[in-house]
Amino acid sequence: MSPEYFLNRELGLLEFNRRVLAQAEDTRNPLLERLKFLCIVSSNLDEFFEVRVADLKEQIEFGAPGTSPDGLTPRQTMARISDEAHQLVERQYQVLNEVVLPQLAEQSICFLRRTQWNEAQQAWIRDYFFRELMPILTPMGLDPSHPFPRMLNKSLNFAIELEGKDAFGRNSGIAIVQAPRALPRIIRLPSEIAGHEYGFVFLSSILHAHVGELFSGMTARGCYQFRVTRNSELSLDDESTTNLRLALQGELSHRQFGDAVRLEVADNCSPGIAEFLLQQFGLEQEDLYRVNGLVNLVRMMQVPDWVDRPDLKFPAFIPGMPREIGKHDDIFSAIRRSDILLHHPFQSFNPVVEFIQQAANDPGVLAIKMTVYRTSADSTLMTSLIEAAKRGTEVTVVVELMARFDEEANINWAAKLEDAGAHVVYGVVNHKTHAKMAMVVRREDDKLRRYVHLSTGNYHQRTARFYTDFGLLTANENICADVNDLFAQLTGLGRASALRHLWQSPFTLHQKLIKAIRNETEHARAGRKARIIAKMNALLEPEIIQALYEASGAGVEIDLIVRGVCALRPGLPGVSENIHVRSIVGRFLEHSRIFYFYNDRAEDLYLASADWMFRNFFRRIEACFPLLDPKLKRRVIKEGLQPYLKDNLNTWEMLPDGNYRLKHTRAAAFSAQHYLMEVYGQGSDTGSA
């Protein structure tokens, strides 16, 4: 289709971060939570530059031909990114300095600047510098024998302008001080010294005040913090790699020193130093970001955890527990009785933990199989698998080593699992294993029975507390047989078999979705009611978008709930008039993938690990599974779709030009997330909304 029908992926990601930034500006959110949203924007932008901008720069460097579906060349996209990102960062720091920090100060949570220190504070900070900082810091003067040092990705550094000669008569004029990562970036002062209940000072402020102590006999004319962001994509030669884990371990050490893609400096940095740093990193002026405050704003994410002010945070939420779990002593009895649907974080993740823990301790369990894409460093699930393997249970774990930014953690778990005797495999080369599934094989009454867990989200106990996801525990024989076949594909060799209920990438998911969309198109053309509702994190794949345009043209009513980037343009006359796109941004991160097709009253409903992106359809192993129990299907419609279509507090409506606006209606205020918290909150023993 013509480029005018598609929106740019990178610009869409920046637009999403504007919606996150709006949460920091929203006075309905508690103050410390607003600070967190500011930090989340910085974290998101870090990854955006490390991955997306890095890829564009490589395309430009190597003269990659062609354009993206929206018609922009890599160079044109980079120019647009520079404009949009600079505006976004400027607004972010404006909100921090003019709104959030002053309001925190009113609550006796203060970040003391150098110009504000009184004598007692100066004395305490000076003592801290000599006691805790100076012994660790290594100042580096630049001269022919001391070239510009290698800078770690996203590390905090200082460029110092010097005047005078050192003990050897040298006068380079510039020195570099790198802040070791072990040092805290924010230091809390005793309340009696701070004069506030919570008084903090930045490491950068302490260094600025005492940098002269590092250069005896010389004068520091300027001290400027800076931070470089580097390309963090890993490059492995799949043709020559014989051991993926060993190759990846070697590559990880180079990630910290990839090509530079962005330079952040303090806004007081002199033009000469800024230009000098740009030259050292091979960057242009468009890659320079001057900020009014910390260059590593992500480090402020720790502050809310240090401050005991529940009134400035979201109210504590205790997730509910499905009543089906409480009726049985063991989880397998509960699953045999009926499928169990879990809606996180509104319902507890504990049943998933219990599923694996009970399997690990059950002598009747012969085998446990599980995929791991992202998990926590202290994962109870992984510990249970290790214990099961040590007891002699056949444990097979498909560990995705190439899960971006979790590679090292996954390597560590893979090694521990192997040491315990588990079978560890790394999936299929060139296809990330992104499916979320676990299977337990148990001997019952002289026969083997399989139990399965499938999910839209990761086996990560921490993120399960603030990511919205659905999970299914089932003993349905056909579903279990499909999952067994998927594990056979991942651990062995052979052709893909026809599955009974599951759709999978890279073989059937894309074509099945296209078929389902076209089926609704045919119903509409025949004059029957036709409806599609899809919820996901991203929508980018061109063929899917074209099929949705055709469905809209035929009269299919389409609602898309896309949290992040969406390349489809809604509301175009004659093309997408029947398509509505909304994004929900609130307390919890919307992560579930739900696909609903009316299908002439059959109301087919699927849950999936995959977004509608090229990589999910063709370069990943994904699982998309139906809800066969009518009661559970109604629950997902009632909890995962209808409240989000009704939401008018956290909903951003997408306009045809790719911009978003907050939804405003005359109806009573309604938040999908708040509604689900009320239904399941306080640990309520409930099974459905």
328 carries an active-site annotation = no
643-653 in b/e form (b: 16+ CB < 10 A) is: bbeebbbbbbb
The two tokens of residue 202 are 């930045």
CA dist., res. 229 & res. 256, Å (int): 9
Residue 582 · residue 663 · CB < 8 Å:
yes
Name the residue among 176, 153, 141 with its Cα closest to residue 264.
Answer: 153
Pairing between strand 139-141 and 589-590?
Answer: unpaired
Of the candidates 208, 344, 431, 434, the residue annotated as catalytic is 434
- Write the CB contacts of 333 (distance below 8 Å, at least 6 apart in sequence): none
CA dist., res. 578 & res. 146, Å (int): 64
- Write the CB contacts of 304 (distance below 8 Å, at least 6 apart in sequence): 32, 33, 35, 36, 312, 313
Alpha helices by DSSP H, listed for 96-196, are 101-106, 119-128, 191-194
Report CA 400 to chain centroid distance, whole Å: 16
Q: Which helix (H) or strand (E) holds 357?
A: helix 350-361
CA dist., res. 458 & res. 537, Å (int): 14
Pairing between strand 467-474 and 340-344?
Answer: antiparallel
Preceding omega of 573 cis (within 30 degrees of 0)? no
Residue type, 34: R
Residues assigned a catalytic role: 434
